[in-house]
Amino acid sequence: MAERSRLAILISGRGSNMAALIYASRADDCCFEVALVSGDRPAAPGLALAEAEGIDVLKLDAKTLGPSFWTELSEALEKAEIDFIALAGFMRIIPDEFVARWEGRLVNIHPSLLPKYKGLGTYDACLAAGDIVSGATVHLVSPDLDGGEILDQVEVAVLPGDNAESLADRILIAEHQLYARVLEQYLGRTRDFDWIAGRVGQLALALPETRSKTSHGSPGWKVGSPSSDKFFAIMWNNHHGEGGIAVLVKCSGQDEMAQLIEAEPETYFRPAYYGPSDWIGIRLDRPKVDWDHVASWLRRSWLAMAPARLTKLLRAADEF
Ligand code: GRF
Protein backbone atom coordinates (compact mmCIF):
# COMPACT_ATOMS: atom_id res chain seq x y z
CA MET A 1 0.00 0.00 0.00
CA ALA A 2 1.23 3.53 -0.79
CA GLU A 3 2.55 5.56 2.12
CA ARG A 4 -0.03 7.81 3.81
CA SER A 5 0.54 11.51 4.41
CA ARG A 6 1.10 12.26 8.08
CA LEU A 7 -1.44 14.88 9.10
CA ALA A 8 -1.35 17.12 12.19
CA ILE A 9 -4.57 18.84 13.28
CA LEU A 10 -4.52 22.02 15.36
CA ILE A 11 -7.59 22.93 17.39
CA SER A 12 -8.70 25.35 20.09
CA GLY A 13 -12.10 24.00 21.06
CA ARG A 14 -14.59 21.20 20.64
CA GLY A 15 -12.83 19.63 17.65
CA SER A 16 -15.78 18.28 15.68
CA ASN A 17 -13.96 18.88 12.37
CA MET A 18 -10.93 17.15 13.87
CA ALA A 19 -13.14 14.19 14.79
CA ALA A 20 -14.53 14.07 11.23
CA LEU A 21 -10.97 13.89 9.87
CA ILE A 22 -9.97 11.19 12.35
CA TYR A 23 -12.95 9.03 11.37
CA ALA A 24 -12.38 9.64 7.64
CA SER A 25 -8.77 8.53 8.07
CA ARG A 26 -9.94 5.14 9.29
CA ALA A 27 -10.98 4.10 5.77
CA ASP A 28 -8.51 1.52 4.45
CA ASP A 29 -7.76 3.52 1.32
CA CYS A 30 -7.60 6.98 2.96
CA CYS A 31 -4.43 8.75 1.84
CA PHE A 32 -3.74 10.43 5.22
CA GLU A 33 -3.33 9.36 8.82
CA VAL A 34 -3.81 11.68 11.79
CA ALA A 35 -0.36 11.50 13.36
CA LEU A 36 -0.71 14.36 15.87
CA VAL A 37 -3.38 16.61 17.38
CA SER A 38 -2.33 19.76 19.17
CA GLY A 39 -3.52 23.27 19.83
CA ASP A 40 -3.12 26.35 21.96
CA ARG A 41 -5.42 25.44 24.88
CA PRO A 42 -4.74 22.31 26.95
CA ALA A 43 -8.37 22.26 28.10
CA ALA A 44 -9.79 22.12 24.57
CA PRO A 45 -12.42 19.32 24.68
CA GLY A 46 -11.25 18.03 21.29
CA LEU A 47 -7.89 17.02 22.77
CA ALA A 48 -9.57 14.58 25.16
CA LEU A 49 -11.53 13.13 22.27
CA ALA A 50 -8.36 12.65 20.20
CA GLU A 51 -6.64 10.98 23.17
CA ALA A 52 -9.55 8.61 23.60
CA GLU A 53 -9.23 7.72 19.91
CA GLY A 54 -5.59 6.74 20.48
CA ILE A 55 -4.08 9.68 18.59
CA ASP A 56 -0.84 11.30 19.81
CA VAL A 57 -1.82 14.56 21.51
CA LEU A 58 0.45 17.44 22.45
CA LYS A 59 -1.07 19.80 25.00
CA LEU A 60 0.45 23.26 24.79
CA ASP A 61 -0.71 26.37 26.58
CA ALA A 62 -0.06 29.37 24.35
CA LYS A 63 -0.96 31.77 27.18
CA THR A 64 1.82 30.61 29.49
CA LEU A 65 4.32 29.75 26.76
CA GLY A 66 4.16 33.08 24.93
CA PRO A 67 6.25 33.18 21.73
CA SER A 68 7.93 29.83 22.57
CA PHE A 69 4.55 28.22 21.85
CA TRP A 70 5.44 28.32 18.14
CA THR A 71 8.92 26.91 18.73
CA GLU A 72 7.60 24.00 20.79
CA LEU A 73 4.88 23.30 18.29
CA SER A 74 7.33 23.40 15.36
CA GLU A 75 9.68 20.99 17.13
CA ALA A 76 6.86 18.56 17.82
CA LEU A 77 5.66 18.71 14.19
CA GLU A 78 9.16 17.95 13.00
CA LYS A 79 9.66 15.13 15.49
CA ALA A 80 6.36 13.54 14.42
CA GLU A 81 7.49 13.81 10.76
CA ILE A 82 4.34 15.71 9.83
CA ASP A 83 3.72 16.26 6.12
CA PHE A 84 0.65 18.47 6.31
CA ILE A 85 -1.32 20.54 8.85
CA ALA A 86 -5.09 21.03 9.02
CA LEU A 87 -6.41 23.86 11.19
CA ALA A 88 -9.81 23.02 12.62
CA GLY A 89 -11.20 25.78 14.79
CA PHE A 90 -7.70 26.93 15.71
CA MET A 91 -8.29 30.43 17.08
CA ARG A 92 -4.83 31.96 16.96
CA ILE A 93 -3.17 34.26 14.46
CA ILE A 94 -0.32 32.35 12.88
CA PRO A 95 3.08 34.06 12.53
CA ASP A 96 4.23 34.68 8.97
CA GLU A 97 7.38 32.55 9.41
CA PHE A 98 5.28 29.55 10.39
CA VAL A 99 3.01 30.09 7.38
CA ALA A 100 6.05 30.39 5.10
CA ARG A 101 7.63 27.24 6.53
CA TRP A 102 4.43 25.26 5.79
CA GLU A 103 3.52 26.95 2.51
CA GLY A 104 1.23 24.71 0.45
CA ARG A 105 1.01 22.28 3.38
CA LEU A 106 -1.27 24.20 5.75
CA VAL A 107 -5.04 24.37 5.29
CA ASN A 108 -7.96 25.83 7.18
CA ILE A 109 -11.72 25.44 7.14
CA HIS A 110 -13.86 28.56 7.35
CA PRO A 111 -17.65 28.76 7.79
CA SER A 112 -18.51 31.02 4.84
CA LEU A 113 -18.23 31.06 1.08
CA LEU A 114 -14.92 32.93 0.94
CA PRO A 115 -14.00 35.55 -0.11
CA LYS A 116 -17.25 36.59 1.60
CA TYR A 117 -17.12 37.12 5.37
CA LYS A 118 -13.56 36.62 6.49
CA GLY A 119 -12.71 36.45 10.20
CA LEU A 120 -15.29 35.97 12.96
CA GLY A 121 -19.05 36.66 12.90
CA THR A 122 -19.65 34.98 9.54
CA TYR A 123 -23.18 33.71 10.32
CA ASP A 124 -24.49 37.07 11.52
CA ALA A 125 -22.89 38.83 8.56
CA CYS A 126 -24.54 36.40 6.14
CA LEU A 127 -27.97 36.77 7.80
CA ALA A 128 -27.67 40.55 7.98
CA ALA A 129 -26.87 40.67 4.28
CA GLY A 130 -30.01 38.60 3.54
CA ASP A 131 -28.01 35.95 1.64
CA ILE A 132 -30.02 32.91 0.63
CA VAL A 133 -26.93 30.74 0.41
CA SER A 134 -24.01 30.35 2.79
CA GLY A 135 -21.50 27.54 3.13
CA ALA A 136 -17.98 26.52 4.04
CA THR A 137 -14.57 26.83 2.41
CA VAL A 138 -11.32 24.91 2.71
CA HIS A 139 -8.36 27.06 1.75
CA LEU A 140 -4.59 27.09 1.89
CA VAL A 141 -3.33 29.37 4.62
CA SER A 142 -1.46 32.45 3.48
CA PRO A 143 -0.22 35.43 5.51
CA ASP A 144 -3.43 37.26 4.75
CA LEU A 145 -6.29 36.14 7.07
CA ASP A 146 -8.70 33.69 5.37
CA GLY A 147 -7.26 34.87 2.04
CA GLY A 148 -5.24 31.89 0.74
CA GLU A 149 -6.05 29.84 -2.36
CA ILE A 150 -9.49 28.23 -2.17
CA LEU A 151 -9.31 24.45 -2.56
CA ASP A 152 -13.06 23.79 -2.48
CA GLN A 153 -16.34 25.03 -1.08
CA VAL A 154 -19.77 23.66 -0.28
CA GLU A 155 -22.99 25.65 -0.38
CA VAL A 156 -25.59 25.49 2.40
CA ALA A 157 -29.06 27.05 1.98
CA VAL A 158 -30.12 29.73 4.45
CA LEU A 159 -33.62 28.87 5.67
CA PRO A 160 -36.31 31.44 6.50
CA GLY A 161 -36.18 31.91 10.27
CA ASP A 162 -32.53 30.83 10.56
CA ASN A 163 -30.52 32.41 13.33
CA ALA A 164 -26.73 32.32 13.71
CA GLU A 165 -26.92 29.13 15.77
CA SER A 166 -29.19 27.14 13.47
CA LEU A 167 -27.20 28.21 10.42
CA ALA A 168 -23.90 27.31 12.13
CA ASP A 169 -25.25 23.85 13.03
CA ARG A 170 -26.14 23.11 9.42
CA ILE A 171 -22.92 24.53 8.01
CA LEU A 172 -21.00 22.34 10.46
CA ILE A 173 -22.55 19.19 8.96
CA ALA A 174 -21.35 20.34 5.55
CA GLU A 175 -17.90 21.23 6.94
CA HIS A 176 -17.37 17.72 8.25
CA GLN A 177 -17.91 16.24 4.79
CA LEU A 178 -16.07 18.94 2.89
CA TYR A 179 -12.88 18.83 4.97
CA ALA A 180 -12.29 15.10 4.65
CA ARG A 181 -13.09 15.17 0.93
CA VAL A 182 -10.75 18.08 0.16
CA LEU A 183 -7.88 16.54 2.09
CA GLU A 184 -8.42 13.22 0.36
CA GLN A 185 -8.27 14.96 -3.03
CA TYR A 186 -5.45 17.36 -2.27
CA LEU A 187 -3.18 14.91 -0.45
CA GLY A 188 -4.25 12.14 -2.81
CA ARG A 189 -2.46 13.93 -5.66
CA THR A 190 0.76 12.43 -4.33
CA ARG A 191 -0.58 9.05 -5.51
CA ASP A 192 -2.17 10.24 -8.73
CA PHE A 193 -0.30 9.21 -11.87
CA ASP A 194 -1.53 12.12 -14.05
CA TRP A 195 -0.68 14.75 -11.44
CA ILE A 196 2.77 13.29 -10.85
CA ALA A 197 3.45 12.92 -14.59
CA GLY A 198 2.33 16.54 -15.08
CA ARG A 199 4.82 17.73 -12.50
CA VAL A 200 7.66 15.70 -14.00
CA GLY A 201 6.67 17.01 -17.44
CA GLN A 202 6.93 20.63 -16.28
CA LEU A 203 10.47 20.01 -15.03
CA ALA A 204 11.50 17.97 -18.07
CA LEU A 205 10.16 20.48 -20.59
CA ALA A 206 11.97 23.34 -18.83
CA LEU A 207 15.24 21.83 -20.13
CA PRO A 208 16.47 22.93 -23.57
CA GLU A 209 15.19 21.30 -26.79
CA THR A 210 12.88 18.81 -25.14
CA ARG A 211 9.53 17.38 -26.16
CA SER A 212 6.95 14.92 -24.83
CA LYS A 213 6.66 11.53 -26.49
CA THR A 214 5.05 8.36 -25.23
CA SER A 215 7.25 5.31 -24.75
CA HIS A 216 5.41 1.96 -24.68
CA GLY A 217 2.25 3.93 -23.86
CA SER A 218 3.80 5.84 -20.96
CA PRO A 219 4.55 9.60 -20.97
CA GLY A 220 8.18 10.30 -21.70
CA TRP A 221 10.45 13.19 -22.66
CA LYS A 222 13.07 13.37 -25.41
CA VAL A 223 15.93 15.72 -26.14
CA GLY A 224 17.59 16.65 -29.42
CA SER A 225 16.46 17.42 -32.94
CA PRO A 226 13.33 15.51 -34.07
CA SER A 227 15.33 13.23 -36.42
CA SER A 228 17.79 12.02 -33.76
CA ASP A 229 16.15 12.76 -30.40
CA LYS A 230 16.57 10.44 -27.42
CA PHE A 231 14.51 9.70 -24.31
CA PHE A 232 15.96 11.11 -21.09
CA ALA A 233 12.96 10.47 -18.83
CA ILE A 234 10.06 8.02 -18.90
CA MET A 235 7.16 7.60 -16.49
CA TRP A 236 6.62 4.23 -14.86
CA ASN A 237 3.22 3.13 -13.60
CA ASN A 238 3.41 0.18 -11.26
CA HIS A 239 4.58 -2.10 -14.05
CA HIS A 240 3.88 -5.73 -13.03
CA GLY A 241 3.32 -4.47 -9.48
CA GLU A 242 6.86 -3.08 -9.29
CA GLY A 243 8.06 0.39 -8.27
CA GLY A 244 4.70 2.16 -7.81
CA ILE A 245 4.61 5.44 -9.74
CA ALA A 246 8.11 6.53 -10.71
CA VAL A 247 10.21 8.31 -13.28
CA LEU A 248 13.02 6.49 -15.03
CA VAL A 249 16.20 8.44 -15.67
CA LYS A 250 19.69 7.51 -16.83
CA CYS A 251 22.31 6.93 -14.14
CA SER A 252 26.03 6.39 -14.75
CA GLY A 253 25.88 2.59 -14.74
CA GLN A 254 25.22 -0.61 -12.81
CA ASP A 255 27.57 0.23 -9.94
CA GLU A 256 25.91 3.53 -9.15
CA MET A 257 22.48 1.92 -9.51
CA ALA A 258 23.34 -0.81 -7.01
CA GLN A 259 24.72 1.74 -4.53
CA LEU A 260 21.68 3.99 -4.74
CA ILE A 261 19.23 1.11 -4.36
CA GLU A 262 21.11 -0.21 -1.37
CA ALA A 263 21.29 3.23 0.29
CA GLU A 264 17.66 4.24 -0.37
CA PRO A 265 15.55 1.22 -1.31
CA GLU A 266 12.32 3.14 -0.71
CA THR A 267 13.31 5.72 -3.38
CA TYR A 268 15.29 3.88 -6.06
CA PHE A 269 14.69 0.63 -7.93
CA ARG A 270 15.89 -1.24 -10.99
CA PRO A 271 13.11 -1.39 -13.62
CA ALA A 272 13.37 -5.08 -14.52
CA TYR A 273 11.45 -4.55 -17.78
CA TYR A 274 14.34 -2.48 -19.18
CA GLY A 275 16.88 -5.29 -18.62
CA PRO A 276 20.50 -4.46 -17.76
CA SER A 277 20.29 -0.84 -18.94
CA ASP A 278 21.25 2.32 -17.05
CA TRP A 279 17.65 3.41 -16.47
CA ILE A 280 17.01 3.77 -12.76
CA GLY A 281 13.54 4.24 -11.22
CA ILE A 282 12.89 7.07 -8.76
CA ARG A 283 9.69 6.44 -6.86
CA LEU A 284 7.37 9.46 -6.79
CA ASP A 285 4.06 8.31 -5.25
CA ARG A 286 5.18 9.33 -1.77
CA PRO A 287 4.12 12.25 0.44
CA LYS A 288 7.67 13.56 0.82
CA VAL A 289 9.05 13.77 -2.71
CA ASP A 290 11.94 16.21 -2.99
CA TRP A 291 11.13 17.82 -6.34
CA ASP A 292 14.42 19.74 -6.47
CA HIS A 293 16.13 16.39 -6.29
CA VAL A 294 13.94 15.07 -9.13
CA ALA A 295 14.78 18.18 -11.17
CA SER A 296 18.49 17.58 -10.69
CA TRP A 297 18.13 13.94 -11.79
CA LEU A 298 16.23 15.03 -14.92
CA ARG A 299 18.99 17.48 -15.71
CA ARG A 300 21.64 14.81 -15.23
CA SER A 301 19.76 12.41 -17.47
CA TRP A 302 19.27 15.18 -20.03
CA LEU A 303 23.05 15.80 -19.99
CA ALA A 304 23.66 12.09 -20.58
CA MET A 305 21.35 11.89 -23.60
CA ALA A 306 21.53 15.35 -25.23
CA PRO A 307 23.76 15.93 -28.28
CA ALA A 308 27.13 17.59 -27.60
CA ARG A 309 26.05 20.87 -29.20
CA LEU A 310 23.43 21.26 -26.42
CA THR A 311 25.38 19.91 -23.46
CA LYS A 312 28.26 22.25 -24.28
CA LEU A 313 25.90 25.19 -24.03
CA LEU A 314 24.45 24.10 -20.70
CA ARG A 315 27.86 23.29 -19.20
CA ALA A 316 29.18 26.66 -20.39
CA ALA A 317 26.19 28.39 -18.79
CA ASP A 318 26.93 26.50 -15.52
CA GLU A 319 30.53 27.71 -15.46
CA PHE A 320 29.47 31.23 -16.11
C1 GRF B 1 -15.90 25.57 12.59
O2 GRF B 1 -17.07 26.20 12.30
C3 GRF B 1 -14.82 26.01 11.65
O4 GRF B 1 -15.29 26.36 10.40
C5 GRF B 1 -14.29 27.25 12.32
O6 GRF B 1 -14.35 26.97 13.69
C7 GRF B 1 -15.34 25.97 13.94
C8 GRF B 1 -14.67 24.85 14.66
O9 GRF B 1 -15.56 23.89 15.11
N10 GRF B 1 -12.99 27.56 11.81
P11 GRF B 1 -15.02 22.49 15.64
O12 GRF B 1 -14.05 22.79 16.78
O13 GRF B 1 -14.33 21.81 14.52
O14 GRF B 1 -16.21 21.74 16.12
Best residue among 9, 87, 109, 154 to mutate for probing ligand 1's pocket (most ligand atoms within 8 Å of CB) is 109
pLDDT at 95 over 70: yes
Strands (E) across 53-149 are located at 57-58, 84-87, 106-110, 133-140
Which atom of ligand 1 sits closest to the CA of residue 19?
13
The pLDDT tens digits of the residues spanning 212-232 come to 999 988 999 999 999 999 999
Q: How far apart are CA 206 and CA 204, in angstroms?
A: 5
pLDDT at 79 over 80: yes
Burial class of 300 by CB neighbour count within 10 A (0 to 12, 13 to 18, 19+): middle
Give the global pTM.
0.85
Helix (H, G, I), strand (E, B) or coil at 268: strand
What's the DSSP call for residue 149? P
| Nearest by Cα to 7 from 27, 30, 28 | 30
Q: What is the mean pLDDT of residues 300-305?
A: 96
The amino acid at residue 177 is Q
Which atom of ligand 1 sits closest to the CA of residue 172?
2
Query: If you measure from the C-alpha of residue 197 to the centroid of ligand 1, how many angstroms do you get, rounded to a whole number?
Result: 36
Residue 166 pLDDT: 97
